[in-house]
Amino acid sequence: MTMARYLLRSALRACINGGVALSVAALFAHGAQAQDAPADRVEHGRYLAIASDCVACHTAPGGKPFAGGLDLNTPFGTITASNITSDRATGIGSWTLQQFDAAVRHGKGPNGHLYPAMPYTAYARMTDADLADLWAYIRTVPAVSQKVVENKLPFPYNIRAALIVWNALFFDSTPFKPDSAKSDAVNRGAYLVEALAHCGICHTPKNAFGSDSGATYQGTSLQGWHAPDLTNNDHTGLGKWSAEDIVTYLRSGTNRYTASSGPMTEVIVNSTQHLTDADLQAIAAYFKALPARHVEAPQPLPATNAQVEAGRREFVVQCSACHTSSGQGVANMIPSLQANPAINAKSPDSLLNILLAGTTGPATTANPTGAAMPGFAWKLQDDQIANVLTYIRNSQGNAAPAVSTTDVAKARKALGAQPVVWH
């Protein structure tokens, strides 16, 4: 055990390149006693917690805010979010600012290294001042006595010492530095996206070790949903979206092209709808400033394809009443299916979830009545769902791989949705 602790300390020093001492000194310049922080700093910390969407992971369904207990299913096992309320016994009420900094920006908790499901790899870019203000706010969160169960990770992933190697290989603790060649808005957007909102945690594909693959923001599937491509790519990304389209989507959960679904709906409800207009504009400016990424669109399956033709007939009966016969939908309410990047994604995961289980859009201040779509698991058989999705993905300006009955069956099983049985 002594050797393990020594290795942990040594690896931590190596990973952060000796920067902790300087960082902690700077933090104390902002005041270590968070309970004595001025009200404006606490309020700014509350805003940072919203921008970072802390409540999403640290609140269980039906539970008290920040009291933990939410199970996060990862490819390596189940990780349970911790209690970060001010309770001294089961939360982090007894922590110091240094301990909070070690956990949030360096992935080091009282019991060893944290798993990167906690996005310290992004929060490492947070400024000292923002970290101190976030701590000032967290200290004011009402204490909730709730002991969180241990993570449910199989061997060898339950060995925290393995994270010594992971951090040494993959953890970049370099603080955020504005790019002097970019505008203030783009730099602010970069800080929000890369550090606070940690968008890359979901939207950047991971390698076999759970680290970013290098295909930054190019979309990936996780927890049964597809986090879409955020690059300026016309076919599967945001290439056709204007900056205002991005702002509208993050503020209301919908725009002229699409409506949110799945985990992104929770992000909009808890986080992005509450950001200032200036910050939303900055996020949009950042994404629109990313280099254009050309993706050669595949050729759509021909209209004479048997699956496409069967899907067209299903579409007329099941979908056209809301999405219209042309697939145009209703702007800012019912998503357009025409040349829709989400439909063109290589993975049909999100489409399968929506069609099987249905979806409800976020109820936001800007759009109080979120539109809903019913699920069709009770009504359509696997081949019918595969056919209609294949038709949608290969018509109306879209081009994407066909959906198979095997794809539908797997999604149905994962959702626990019962297949149709006709009597």
Binding-site positions for heme c: 54, 57-58, 199, 202-203, 319, 322-323
- Asked whether the beta carbons of 231 and 238 are under 8 A apart, the reply is yes
Cβ-based neighbour number of residue 276 at 10 Å: 10
What are residue 206's DSSP bridge partners? 212
The alpha carbon of residue 400 and the mean position of all alpha carbons in its chain are separated, in whole angstroms, by 24
Which is nearest to 173 in space by CA: 122, 213, 133?
122
CA dihedral 103, 109, 110, 111 (to 10 degrees): 180
Is the bond preceding residue 156 a cis peptide, omega within 30 degrees? yes
Rounded-to-integer distance, Cα 347 and Cα 262, Å: 15
Q: Residues annotated in the binding site, as ranges?
A: 54, 57-58, 199, 202-203, 319, 322-323
342 φψ region: left (φ > 0), alpha (ψ -120 to 50), beta (else) = alpha
Q: Tell me which amino acid residue 81 is.
A: A
